């Protein structure tokens, strides 16, 4: 694995030991960013199932100003930190070990908001839409935010729900990628219960 384009182009990235993490291949990563970028002029990115950190690092390399990377696995967090170091992006990223739902609650408490959200949960989890709706409710998305959802291609997510509308979908073997745009819905947003980001 490597950084495909931008500031850190060509830098090699470590993989997480074992079989518990399924990193996005360079080919799929390049295709993904051609759909959502390919380059950015600042902005904040949230990578909620960071794994190696490869997707968020690619986003920073292509112009995102800062990133928050979250993963529940200690080995993944170690690899994320190593990959941020080798790419020189440590100062532009925050890394937390936590599960996705608790992390979102803590980020809402901080009044965080993101231009780009990367969701690449384990294939056994089918809760991408649920997490996106929570982000909408908690005010974690900036106007015209883009959400990238990567999942098992045999599974189907709806084309529209809440303020989300499917813009592009692509299938690469067992992997499907859906790109959603989000627009503010009418009505009040409710703030969730407070939690600390660090578990």
Whole-model pTM? 0.90
Q: Would residue 174 count as lying in a domain?
A: yes
How far is 92 from 90, CA to CA, in rounded Å?
5
pLDDT digits (tens, 9 = 90+) for 38-56: 999 999 999 999 999 999 9
Residue 196 has pLDDT above 90, yes or no: no
Mean pLDDT estimate for the chain: 91
Q: Would residue 6 count as lying in a domain?
A: no
pLDDT digits (tens, 9 = 90+) for 103-143: 999 999 999 999 999 999 988 899 999 999 999 999 999 99
- Residues spanned by the domain of 108: 26-182
Q: Would residue 52 count as lying in a domain?
A: yes
Q: Would residue 199 count as lying in a domain?
A: no
CB 114 within 8 A of CB 46: yes
Q: Would residue 83 count as lying in a domain?
A: yes
Q: pLDDT band at 188, cuts 50/70/90?
A: very low
Q: Would residue 13 count as lying in a domain?
A: no
Say which residues have a Cβ less than 8 Å from residue 78's Cβ, sequence separation at least 6: none
Q: Structural domain tally of the chain? A: 1
Q: How many C-beta neighbours within 10 Å does residue 13 have?
A: 22
pLDDT digits (tens, 9 = 90+) for 137-177: 999 999 999 999 999 999 999 999 999 999 999 999 999 99
Q: Would residue 30 count as lying in a domain?
A: yes
pLDDT at 192: 45
- What are the helix (H) ranges across 88-162? 100-109, 128-138
pLDDT at 18: 77
CATH code of residue 172: 3.40.50.150
Helices and strands (H and E) in the chain: how many: 5, 8
Q: Would residue 15 count as lying in a domain?
A: no
């Amino acid at each position: 694995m490597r950084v495909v384009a931008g500031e850190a182009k060509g830098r090699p990235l470590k993989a997480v030991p074992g079989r518990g993490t399924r990193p996005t291949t360079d080919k799929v990563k390049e295709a993904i960013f051609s759909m959502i970028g390919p380059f950015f002029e600042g902005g904040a990115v949230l990578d909620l199932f960071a794994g190696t950190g490869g997707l968020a690092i690619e986003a920073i390399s292509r112009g995102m100003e800062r990133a928050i990377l979250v993963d529940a696995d200690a080995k993944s967090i170690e690899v994320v930190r190593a990959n941020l170091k080798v790419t020189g992006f440590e100062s532009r990223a925050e890394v937390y070990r936590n599960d996705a739902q608790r992390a979102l609650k803590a980020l809402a408490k901080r009044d965080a908001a993101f231009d780009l959200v990367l969701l690449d949960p384990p294939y056994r989890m089918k809760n991408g839409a649920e997490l996106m709706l929570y982000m909408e409710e908690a005010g974690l998305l900036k106007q015209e935010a883009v959400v990238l959802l990567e999942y098992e291609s045999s599974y189907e997510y709806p084309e529209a729900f809440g303020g989300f509308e499917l813009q592009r979908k692509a299938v690469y073997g067992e992997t499907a990628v859906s790109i959603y745009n989000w627009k503010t819905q009418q009505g009040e947003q409710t703030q969730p219960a407070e939690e600390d980001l660090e578990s």
